[in-house]
Amino acid sequence: MDKLDKKTIKKQNFIFELIVNFATALLIFLLFYYFVAQTHEVHGASMLPNFTTGDRVITEKVTRYFNDIKRGEVVIVHSPVHTEPLIKRVIALPGETVEIKNGDVYINGVMLSEDYLKDGVKTSGQRFLKEGVPYTLSKDEYLVMGDNRPVSSDSRSWGTVKRKDIIGHAFFRYWPLSKVGFIR
């Protein structure tokens, strides 16, 4: 082989390696994005004052397969009436009975302490979960609500979500920089 052939082969090997490395990196990114974690941007006022439009969070998707979803956890869900995923807070868990009375949420007859709500915020019943009418969740249902109850489109209006409709829990806010940190 002469020098020209060796250079050509070396160049072809470099290009092939570059393509393989790029494809491998893309595959790893896609697997990570679809199965481990992804980003979401908050839209709307339903989670004020804790989340505002433009906040960006990382949603972790793995632990929902191995651990129970907990009350108070901030999750990203597919709702039956919205095309975009929503950020909401888990209020009631499978098998629990939830009721709204006098502006407060009761779980199995006990008033829920909601320190994440702004002072004075009252919870009203809506089309699905009506004031003073208890609802018992089935074994695969979760009831979610926004923190800004007067404006939130949530389970009170459109019903519960199934476990499969919970994309994951929002665990880290990375934007805006002034609010960077883990989400409680």
Q: Please give the C-alpha separations between residue 123 and each of 64, 73, 135, 146, 174, in angstroms, as whole numbers.
A: 27, 18, 15, 10, 29
Task: Give phi and psi for 47, each to the nearest 5.
Answer: -110, 15
Q: Known catalytic residue: 88?
A: yes
SS3 for 19-67 is HHHHHHHHHHHHHHHHHCEEEEECCCCCCCCCCCCCCEEEEECCHHHCC
Q: What is the pLDDT of residues 17-68, one digit of tens each?
A: 889 899 999 998 888 888 888 999 999 999 999 999 999 999 999 887 788 8
pLDDT given for residue 2 in this prediction: 62
Does the active-site annotation cover 46? yes
Collect all residues with Cβ–Cβ distance below 8 Å to 57 and sequence separation of at least 6. Answer: 39, 40, 42, 51, 76, 87, 170, 171, 172, 173, 174, 183
- pTM value is 0.84
Low-confidence residues in the chain, pLDDT < 50: none
Q: Which of 3, 6, 79, 88 is catalytic?
A: 88
The pLDDT assigned to 113 comes to 95
Q: Which is the catalytic residue, given 46, 79, 152, 155?
A: 46
